[in-house]
Amino acid sequence: MSTRLRLLLLPLALLLLAPAAASAQSFAENPLVYVFVVDGLDGDRVDQGRAPYISRLLAGAEGARSTYYRESRSIMVAETNPNHAAMASGAYADRSGIPGNSFAIQQATEDEDSCAPAPGGGGGVTVVSGENANCLQAETFFQAAERQRNPADITTAGIFGKPKLGRIFAARKPDNSLFADFLTAPCESQESSNPSYCTERIEDFPATGTALNDREVMDEVIRTIDQGVPADGRTKLPNLTFVNFSQVDQAGHATGAGSAYDAAIGMADTEIERFVETQ
C-alpha cells in the first residue's frame, strides 16, 4: 500500500486520491481520484465497526490521512438514482432532473425510462424511471471535465454495478461518443440491443434485478489501473473514476438490515482493502 494514500469517507461515498508517480510534485500535478459509492450503506454501521478496514483508515492506520463527516445525509428521496445524480453533478433533486427512482412528467414520453417527449407529442402525465441520460438536467463531472479540460489533464471512468447507472451516465457528445472516457455497467439481457459499454458478467439479484457483484466491480477498477482505458486516441490511466458497489443495497432490499446486510458491508469493506493494497 502507498503510504501517501489520501482518503475521504462519507456514509455513502468513498473518495481516494493516490499518487500517479513517486514524487510529491507529481502527486500534486496528477492525483488519481476514485469515488466509491457503497450503495445503501448505513453510516451507523461504519461507526459500529461493521467495516473494519474502512474504520482503520479513518483512525489513521495504514498510513492514511482521512476526514469523516458523520453528519452527512443522502438527499431526499434517499434512493439510488437521485443520489448518484447529486454526487455526479452537485445538484439537488429539484435541479438534477432525477428527483427519485421514479417520478411523473407532464407529457407523454418516448418510453418508460426516458424524459424525451414521445414522437408526435401528447399530453397527460407519464411516470418514468428517469434511467436515461436525457433526464439529467445538471452537468455531471463527466461533462464538466470534457468542457473544461485540456485532453491531457483528465481521463474519466464510470464503473457501475447497476445497469441503470450506466444508462443515466451514458450522455453523448455531438459526435455520439460518450462524455465519460470509459463507461461500463452490466448488460440486462443477451440481446444485440445492449449498449456497447455493457459487460455480460452479471448476477441476478431477485429484489432488484441484474448487477455486477462487488468483486467484479473492483476487478474492473483494478483492470483500468493495470491496463488503462482508451481515451483521446491512446491508452491512458483514468484519474477521475466514479464507482458503484451494489451488493449492500441488494442485501438491504432482499432481507432488511440484518445479517446478510452486514455480511455485504463486510464484502464491500474487503474490496476497498483490496483496492488500497494494489496502490
Residue indicated by cell numbers 445525509: 73
The C-alpha atoms of residue 99 and residue 203 are separated, in whole angstroms, by 28
The β-bridge relationship of strands 203-205 and 209-211 is antiparallel
- Using left for φ > 0, alpha for ψ between -120 and 50, and beta otherwise, residue 27 falls in alpha
Q: Which CATH class is domain 6-96+136-278?
A: alpha beta
- Cα-to-chain-centroid distance, residue 278: 20
> DSSP strand E in the chain: where?
6-9, 13-19, 31-38, 65-68, 103-105, 126-128, 156-160, 182-186, 198-199, 203-205, 209-211, 229-231, 234-236, 240-245
Q: Which three cell numbers stand for residue 218?
A: 473492483
What are the distances in angstroms from CA 196 to CA 38, 129, 131, 167?
A: 25, 21, 17, 11
In sign, the C-alpha dihedral spanning 15, 162, 187, 210 is positive
Q: Structural domain boundaries of the chain?
A: 6-96+136-278, 99-135
Cα Rg for the chain, rounded, in angstroms?
19
Cell reading at 108: 407523454
Q: What is the pTM of this model?
A: 0.86
- DSSP per residue over 212-267, as a string? --HHHHHHHHHHHHHH-EEETTEEE--SEEEEEE-HHHHHHHHH-SSHHHHHHHHH
According to DSSP, the residues that pair with 229 across neighbouring strands are: 236
Residues contacting residue 189 through CB under 8 Å, at least 6 positions apart: none
List per-residue pLDDT tens for the chain, 279 residues long. 333 333 333 433 444 444 433 333 343 356 889 999 999 998 889 889 999 999 998 888 877 788 888 888 888 988 999 999 999 999 999 999 999 999 999 999 999 999 999 987 777 899 999 999 999 999 999 999 888 877 568 899 999 999 999 999 999 999 999 999 999 998 876 665 677 787 765 555 544 557 789 999 999 999 999 999 988 888 999 989 999 999 999 999 888 989 999 999 999 999 999 999 887
CA distance 26 to 112: 47
